[in-house]
Amino acid sequence: MSRILIYIVPKFTTFDHQNAGVELVFATHNKHKVREVEAMLPEGYTLKSLDDVGFHKDIPETADTLEGNALLKAQAVFDATQLPSFADDTGLFIPALNGAPGVLSARFAGSPPDAGANMQKVLTELSASAKRDAYFLTVIALVNNEDIYYFHGKIAGEILQEPRGTGGFGYDPIFVPKGYDLSFAELAAEIKNEISHRALAFNSLIDFLSRT
């Protein structure tokens, strides 16, 4: 019997960070996020913020998926700079609310964004619902020439009956990650930053960059 082995070799040849060094742009104005990711990058990569590359336009997040919004941002910055660019987008998804707040997480209770009002809206809509499972999902889109790559990070948990804790931001006080008793706002920042949706998505991006 003869066997045919097929190897699928991915086309990862676009990032020549070993020899030439590669500049990447993180499509965010959040300097804290940029420094955090910069510290994780493998050798040969340099990270630029939007300020570093002089990109000051506002990019409206008009897509109806996290992937779509992350791509809008990364593509706009790639088009302007011709440098490999990536962007992230995150949402809290609650199946009992048909996936809300989801892609609208930042402005669930209206504009301008108000974390307290957003949490209150979630608690009101869930009211006494026994089904309180939820998850955070982060999507990163990386654009380089014709190539688009997506990286995902997800953490499951439960929505509390009322907010607990003062750390973190956004929906942290009402979200308890699976396997923990404390809310994201009660957990030490180092723990949240290790297990979070965002950490998982960025680890996946870093892993990809290390292999290419």
Applying CB under 6 A, which of residues 80, 96, 106, 182 lies at the interface with ligand IMP? 106
95 scored as a contact of ligand IMP (CB under 6 A): no
Closest to ligand IMP by CB, 45 or 171? 171
63 scored as a contact of ligand IMP (CB under 6 A): no
CB of 12 to ligand IMP, least distance (A): 27
CB of 159 to ligand IMP, least distance (A): 12
The DSSP letter of residue 41 is P
105 scored as a contact of ligand IMP (CB under 6 A): yes
b/e per residue 151-163 (b: at least 16 CB within 10 A): bebebebbbbeeb
The question of whether 89 is a catalytic residue gets the answer: yes
46 and 71 Cβ atoms separated by less than 8 Å? no
- Give the H/E segment covering residue 99: none
d(CA 136, CA 134): 7
Find the part of the chain contacting ligand IMP (CB under 6 A) among 11-19, 51-59, 84-92, 144-152.
Answer: 84-92
Contact mark string toward ligand IMP, 161..200, x via CB under 6 A: -------xxxxx-----------x-----------x----
- Per CB under 6 A, which of residues 115..144 are in contact with ligand IMP? 118, 136
Q: Which of 89, 114, 172, 181 is catalytic?
A: 89
86 scored as a contact of ligand IMP (CB under 6 A): no
CB pairs under 8 A, 24+ apart, for 169-176?
169/115, 170/92, 170/105, 170/106, 170/115, 170/118, 171/92, 171/105, 171/115, 171/118, 171/119, 171/122, 171/136, 173/119, 174/119, 174/122, 174/123, 175/92, 175/134, 175/136
Find the part of the chain contacting ligand IMP (CB under 6 A) among 3-11, 85-93, 126-134, 203-211.
Answer: 85-93
Nearest to 202 by CA among 80, 37, 83: 37
Which chain residues interact with ligand IMP by CB under 6 A? 89-92, 105-106, 113, 118, 136, 168-172, 184, 196
Enumerate the active-site residues. 89
